[in-house]
Each structure stands twice: as C-alpha cells, then as structure tokens.
C-alpha cells in the first residue's frame, strides 16, 4: 500500500508512553517506523525515564516522530491523555514500549475502518510472548460479543487497538481514578459510540513479563475492575442482586471454583444476565448466547470439581447455546480431570 506522508495531517496517530523501557524500546520503535502504511505520526511520551530511554528515542531521525519529554514521571494515564490531546490523526493506534507491531498492522486496521464506517475500536489477534513461549491469542470479530464481555473484563488487548479519534469532542479520556484498569474503563465509556471490531490476524507481539503493571498491581486492579463492572451494569440498565453481583466478580476475576454451590451460582448469574439482556434488548441474542457459553465453559474448566464440573456443564441449558467440537470436548474433559487435583 503506497501512502504519501506529505499530507497536511496524518491519518493515524500512534501513541506510546515510555518509562524506563530501554530493554525493548528500540525494537518497539522500529516495528512502528517500518510499517507498510506510512501516513502516520508517532507520538512518544518519555515519562520521566531515568534509564537510557530518552537517548534511544532521540537516536531515531524520522519526520513522523513527535517526542514529548515529561520532566518527571507522571504515570501512564497522564501521558496517554497528553498523547490523545495532541494527536492529529483521524485514528489513534495504541502501542507499548515493550511490544512489537507486525509489519502490516496499521495498514490492515486502517483498511477495516475504511470498510466499516460505524467502527469505533478495532483490535486484532496477537502473539503472546512469555519467555521462549509464543502463543497465538484469538479474539472475536463480533461487536455485541465484545461489549458483552465488558460485563466481566476488558474485551481487547490494549496495545492491539486502533480507535477513531473521538476523545476531545466527547470529553472522554483515560480516567485517572481507575489506574491499572484504565483501558477497561475506557471501553465501557466508549461502548455506545460505535462498533467494536477485530482483525482476525495477529498484528502484534505482546510481551508478558513480571515487571508489567498488571502483574505488580494485581490486587488493586481486581478491586478497580469491580467498580467498573458496577458502573457498566448501571449504564446497561441491568438489575442484579448483591449476591449475583458478587458472583459476577467471581467470574470476571477468574476466581478458582471449589464447590458445586459456587458453580451453580455462576450458572444462575449467567442465566439471569440472559433474562436481563432479553428484557432490555441490549445485545443480539446470538452474540449474547455465545458470550454466555464461553464464560460457562471457562468457569466449569476453572474448578477442581472434576467430573462434577464436566457433567454440570452439559446438564445446563447454556451448553446448548453453541457447539463444543469433539477436540474441544476432549480438551475440556482433560482440563477438568487435571484440575481436580489442584489445591
């Protein structure tokens, strides 16, 4: 795809915040600068790094680079919002300083926006890098499914997304009151403004390591996520009892299930959500049923109940909402048997 960079404004603004990211930063920057799509600006906010991050950034000479140097470390939310405020592009692509864009990432996401005028956020499949392990993570290209997932958790891997630049006109930015879960809060703030889509190809290599915020601040992240779920339920108009909401958090926080009673509570909560969705007509029934099926299957597999969990899955009406293929059925059975012995 041939795009001139000599236009008045770039079509895409890539926004990346860096804090002491010297280890992987060069690889991340180069993966953006070498994209097949070239009509972009690359906004890099150096957030008060005390390592070699700034000198690494300054070693790149490219007219598409826009470098902002914070005098001190202000945090990810402050820096990302600064990037959103100055971005000129019609679309915003997120990027992290330890990840790698695959060469056609921007091109394929821009193409999807051009084909889908109602699209607001477009994510992608990605590779999860964990040491020497490289795992392909898939996401669904189904807007109602993605927005239903927000009842429990973020629906995108944050650095995979490209977003329509609607932030200033709607006064929606990353919320400083939801630190460590700011992306989750952002999706729930944006959900009503357009469709959420996904490119079903891996467009990013996402690095998982122990120094990430999501690993360091897990307890805080779970507590904040609980607040986001409550606000989102209110936005949707769904009604849940206190006990149903606590079960919602068990599902969303991926809590290991140890009793049949807990598993029955999960089933009851999911069926209640089905009733709420049918009443409010929020999400398409087909998409919502697939969403319920996924989380029922995941919950049954995330237990030490063995064959009791296996039977519970198939005895529930939720198991009829989608098809469990033969190979997947065997994997599910094996998971139930293995986790039977987990403490």
pLDDT for 207 beyond 80: yes
CA–CA distance, 58 with 78 (Å, rounded to integer): 22
Give CA separation, 216 vs 46, 62, 72, 222, in Å: 21, 34, 21, 12
pLDDT at 3 over 70: no
User: 154 and 184 in contact (C-beta within 8 Å)?
Assistant: yes
pLDDT > 70: what percent of the chain? 95
DSSP-derived secondary structure for 164-177:
ES-HHHHT----GG
- pLDDT confidence of residue 2: 37
Residue written as tokens 């960079």? 5
Domain ranges, ordered by start, for the chain:
12-213, 237-339
The first and second tokens of residue 94, run together, are 């997120």
The reported pLDDT for the residue numbered 213 is: 52
Q: How many residues does the chain have?
A: 343
CATH fold label, 12-213:
Spore Coat Polysaccharide Biosynthesis Protein SpsA; Chain A (3.90.550)
Name the pLDDT band for 4 (thresholds 50, 70, 90). very low
Per-residue pLDDT tens over the stretch 242-300: 999 999 999 999 999 999 999 999 999 999 999 999 999 999 999 999 999 999 999 99
What gap in Å lies between CA 279 and CA 281, rounded to an integer?
6
Q: Helix, strand, or coil here: 178?
A: helix
Report residue 120 CA to chain centroid gap. Answer: 14
Question: Would strands 119-130 and 40-47 be described as parallel, antiparallel, or unpaired?
Answer: unpaired
pLDDT in tens, 87-97: 999 999 999 99
Place of tokens 């079903």: 200
Give the residue among 285, 275, 272, 283 at the shortest CA–CA distance from 242: 272
Give the per-residue pLDDT at 5: 42
The alpha carbon of residue 272 and the mean position of all alpha carbons in its chain are separated, in whole angstroms, by 25
Q: Are 168 and 137 in contact (CB under 8 A)?
A: no
């Amino acid at each position: 795809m041939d795009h001139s960079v000599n236009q008045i404004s770039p079509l895409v603004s890539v926004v990346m915040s860096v804090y002491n990211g010297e280890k992987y930063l060069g690889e991340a920057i180069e993966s953006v600068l070498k994209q097949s799509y070239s009509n972009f600006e690359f906004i890099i906010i150096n957030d008060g790094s005390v390592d070699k991050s700034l000198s690494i950034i300054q070693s790149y000479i490219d007219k598409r680079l826009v470098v902002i140097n914070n005098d001190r470390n202000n945090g990810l939310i402050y820096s990302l919002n600064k990037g959103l405020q100055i971005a000129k592009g019609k679309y915003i692509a997120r990027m992290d300083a330890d990840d790698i864009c695959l060469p056609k990432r921007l091109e394929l996401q821009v193409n999807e926006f051009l084909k889908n005028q109602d699209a607001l956020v477009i994510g992608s499949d990605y590779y999860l890098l964990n040491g020497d392990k490289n795992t392909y993570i898939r996401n669904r290209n189904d807007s109602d499914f993605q927005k239903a997932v927000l009842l429990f958790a973020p629906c995108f891997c944050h650095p995979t997304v490209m977003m329509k630049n609607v932030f200033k006109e709607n006064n929606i930015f990353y919320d400083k009151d939801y630190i460590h879960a700011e992306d989750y809060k952002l999706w729930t703030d944006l959900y009503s403004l357009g469709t959420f889509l996904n490119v079903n190809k891996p467009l990013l290599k996402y690095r998982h390591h122990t120094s990430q915020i999501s690993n360091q601040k897990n307890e805080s992240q779970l507590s904040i996520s609980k607040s986001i779920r409550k606000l989102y339920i209110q936005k949707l108009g769904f009604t849940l009892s206190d006990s149903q909401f606590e079960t919602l958090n068990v599902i969303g926080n991926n809590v290991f299930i140890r009793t049949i009673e807990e598993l029955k509570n999960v089933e009851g909560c999911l069926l209640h959500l089905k009733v709420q969705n049918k009443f409010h007509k929020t999400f398409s029934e087909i998409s919502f049923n697939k969403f319920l099926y996924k989380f029922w299957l995941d919950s049954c597999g995330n237990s030490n109940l063995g064959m009791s969990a296996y039977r519970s899955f198939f005895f529930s009406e939720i198991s009829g909402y989608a098809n469990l293929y033969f190979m997947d059925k065997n994997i599910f059975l094996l998971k139930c048997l293995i986790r039977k012995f987990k403490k």
